[in-house]
A and B are shown apart, each in its own frame.
Chain A
Amino acid sequence: MRYQAPGTIDEAVAVLAAANGGAQVLAGGTDLLVQLRAGMIGPEVIVDIKRIPELRAIAVENDGFRIGAAVAGAEMGEHAALKASWPGVVEAMELIGSTQIQGRATPGGNLCNASPAADCVPAMLAASAMCTIAGPTGRRDLSVGDVATGPGQTALGKGEFVVDFRLPERPPRSGDAYLRFIPRTEMDIAVVGAGVNVTLDNDGVCTAARVVLGAVAPRILLVPEAAAALVGARLDDDALGRLDAACRAACRPIDDKRGTIVYRTKVSGVLACRAAAIAFERARTS
């Protein structure tokens, strides 16, 4: 196994494209090293993208944000403007693991590991984030929700990797929130995750919404029916009831060592309602 740390995106693409025995992109390493050690992967080359400056930067662009794929969670949490505009995206990223994990884990890694229980992705998808992907044929854009195609599988071809995430301009009176359920208070993989992003009008009525569930399907789940439950309404008991029902109906979870179908289904609705309450409150005060 070789290790390379290219200094530019094009260099990285070249190394990835040339590897015949399989290449793995290394960002934070918090998933990769565990998998290497468990013998789940055996690449010919590890391509460390942390020496590529654009991938480590957070920039304000077109009134939105561009977040490099290899920015660490802790760095996202320390970016005051990002935190103020997208508290849900930041808190989702910050929920991943411990302080130590936060020092390394990246949104690019969280996305491309393609776990159905990824924490950052539901919030990013609720925020309508777009990814820039670099590859042998140049750059292309993909919605963050289209990168993972199944557990551990991505839409990336040979030589391709995610370079950054772009969050759009934020309309006024908007707020987002992410909650997850874990049995302890920290350190667990999400049993259920719920990301909600809303925009309200001056009367507090929701004009736009996105509701995304994590860990309840093979991929992160955008739930249009859940958003429809919120649009045109205030967050009253009726809306919450509709939201809860829509989430439960959309779930396709499994029974595993972290949760049961029954449990995940019920809690998806509970969390979506709680996350919606926080998102609405943030939108009101934004």
Chain B
Amino acid sequence: MVKTHVTMTVNGEAAELLCDTRATLLDVLRDELDLTGSKEGCSSGDCGACSVMLDDRLVCSCLVLGAEAEGCAIETIEGMADDDRLHPLQQTFLEEAALQCGICTPGFLVAAKALLDRHPDPTETEVRYWLAGNLCRCTGYDKIVRAVMLTAADMRGEPR
């Protein structure tokens, strides 16, 4: 089995490993780097539970080969909080009960952060379409969308 040598940065830290050619970035994050916050829900890019940032692009890590991440900057859920300060999205998700079982939550948070970083003032429709690639079976999306809208207002310094 041929292995590929890959160096990348993950959440700002250098990572270096030998990865199976067939291994996805998700496999690498979870199995080689012990970053199990990104989840495997479907392995076909349909559920978004594996969402990470790859060079500032929101992607499904199950659809990226580990080898493709050479020289790239990866951000996962584990890098979202700043020491013991949760990101506003994480805090608002807790306050607004925007999670129930929590399996989809890392994917939603990474995706929502990508949204607000680019579009600080989204409408409800824009939030829903941006997050359409993140499946949730527990919440019916209501509280998730509300939490994202509330956080957007907070981050703009506007009243909710």
Contacts and interface: CB of A to CB of B under 8 A. Distances in A.
Interface string B59-87: 11011110110100000000000000000
A5 interface: yes
A26 B21 CA distance: 13
B129 A46 contact: no
B45 interface: yes
B65 A3 contact: yes
Contact of B68 (A1, A2, A29, A185): A29
Contact of B63 (A33, A74, A185): A33
Interface string B8-29: 0000000000000110100000
Contact of A100 (B2, B24, B60, B65): B60
A265 B108 CA distance: 37
B64 A104 contact: yes
A104 B72 CA distance: 14
B111 interface: yes
Contacts of B24: 33
B36 to A, nearest CB: 19
B31 interface: no
A103 B58 contact: yes
B106 interface: no
A33 B65 contact: yes
Interface in B116-142: 129-134
Given A30-B45, A37-B44, A97 B65 contact: no
Contacts of A74: 57
Contacts of B7: none
Most buried by A among B21, B51, B65, B129: B65
Contacts of A3: 2, 4, 21, 65, 67
A260 interface: no
Given A5-B70, A72-B57, A186-B129, A100 B22 contact: no
A18 interface: no
Contacts of B131: 99
Contacts of B54: 103
Given A29-B65, A30-B63, 19 more contacts: A1-B21, A2-B2, A3-B21, A30-B45, A33-B24, A33-B62, A33-B63, A34-B45, A46-B65, A98-B45, A98-B48, A98-B60, A99-B131, A100-B45, A101-B133, A103-B54, A185-B129, A185-B132, A187-B132
| Shortest 8 CB-CB contacts between residues of A and residues of B | A98-B133, A186-B132, A103-B57, A3-B67, A103-B59, A100-B60, A100-B133, A1-B21
Interface of A: 1-3, 5, 26, 28-30, 33-34, 36-37, 46, 48, 50, 72, 74, 97-101, 103-104, 185-187
